[in-house]
Amino acid sequence: MTRRKLETAASRATDPGVSPDTQDRQFVTSLARGLEVLRAFGPGEATLGNQEIAERTGLSKPTISRLTHTLVDLGYLSYSARNGRYQLGPGVLALGYAMIAGLEVRERARPMLEDLAASANVTVAIGERDRLNIVYLDCCRGSQTVALSLNVGSRIPLGSTALGRAILAKLPAGEREYLLRAMRERMPEDYPKIEHGVEQAIRELETQGFCTSFGDWRNDVNAVGVPVASLDGERLFGLICGGPSFTLSTETLMQDLGPRLVEIAGRLSAPRQVTAD
């Protein structure tokens, strides 16, 4: 039982499409496939037909037909007989809420995020890794200019954002390398920048306690980030603070906001550091 969670946690945690040739007797394929179907509904693809799902997932049409049938039956997909297309259904949203409602880190973090967002008029967010993305768990904005009400749940890339870098940098080396490898395979052209950014983030975390992304994700967005471990030490989150580059200078981030983020992260972490690694 030596090779346990580290490997499996990283094993399929990357990308759809190819099912890794694991003879894992513990792995339930149909479940994974069904979830892959749900995952096919991305930002740009609010509605999909069976054909499109089959293409995106690489599964055969009859399989898709059965899976969608099942998912509709359970309320995770809605079917429009009008145009033969599916949409994500209410069941999926209820699950998402249950997830966020049960997250104690979020509860504890929220007042601090609000405080910082309001006092410095920046965007503050907490996120977690999901495969090769970061998912926003919570988000506070300074001035309610344009209220894009909830990007809680939205994804941003892992490699180029301050949030992603903070998390990658804090990850055990093995897992980090696994993820970097997956990114290199998937987007070889972006990889050099990604790798460089992550290496820099590791150094920054060592020296100053927070890492940066100045224009690396969107070139008009600056942000600083810190990692935060859950109380039981099993989950790794990231905390960022950022804004448009013409509002938010790198100096402010480096000298004021970064340190404040570090301080918040300290308060969020367990009172006693039990780093048994």
Site for a copy of itself in 221-240 (CB under 8 A): 232-235
- How many residues in the shown chain lie near a copy of itself by CB under 8 A? 83
Distance of CA 55 to the CA centre of its chain: 25
**Residue 68 within binding range of DNA, rule CB under 7 A:** yes
Q: Maximum Cα–Cα distance for the chain, whole Å?
A: 59
**Residue 52 within binding range of DNA, rule CB under 7 A:** yes
Cβ 200 to DNA, closest distance in Å? 37
Stretch in the footprint of DNA (CB under 7 A) among 51-59, 97-105, 143-151, 173-181: 51-59
Residue listed under structure tokens 């599964």: 59
Considering beta carbons, is residue 42 or 266 the nearer one to a copy of itself?
A: 42
Burial of residue 199 (number of CB atoms within 10 Å: 0-12, 13-18, 19+): middle
Q: Structure tokens of 209? A: 């306690």
Considering beta carbons, is residue 78 or 208 the nearer one to a copy of itself?
A: 78
Site for DNA in 71-110 (CB under 7 A): 83-85
Residue 234: what residue type?
Answer: E
Beta-strand runs (E) in 32-180: 77-80, 85-88, 123-130, 133-140, 155-157
**Residue 33 within binding range of a copy of itself, rule CB under 8 A:** yes
**Residue 186 within binding range of DNA, rule CB under 7 A:** no
Q: Alpha-carbon torsion 109, 111, 112, 117, what sign?
A: positive
Cβ 132 to a copy of itself, closest distance in Å? 11
**Residue 94 within binding range of a copy of itself, rule CB under 8 A:** yes
Strands 155-157 and 133-140: antiparallel
Residue listed under structure tokens 């570090």: 262
Q: Contact residues for DNA (CB under 7 A)?
A: 1, 23, 25-31, 33, 49-52, 54, 59-63, 65-69, 83-85
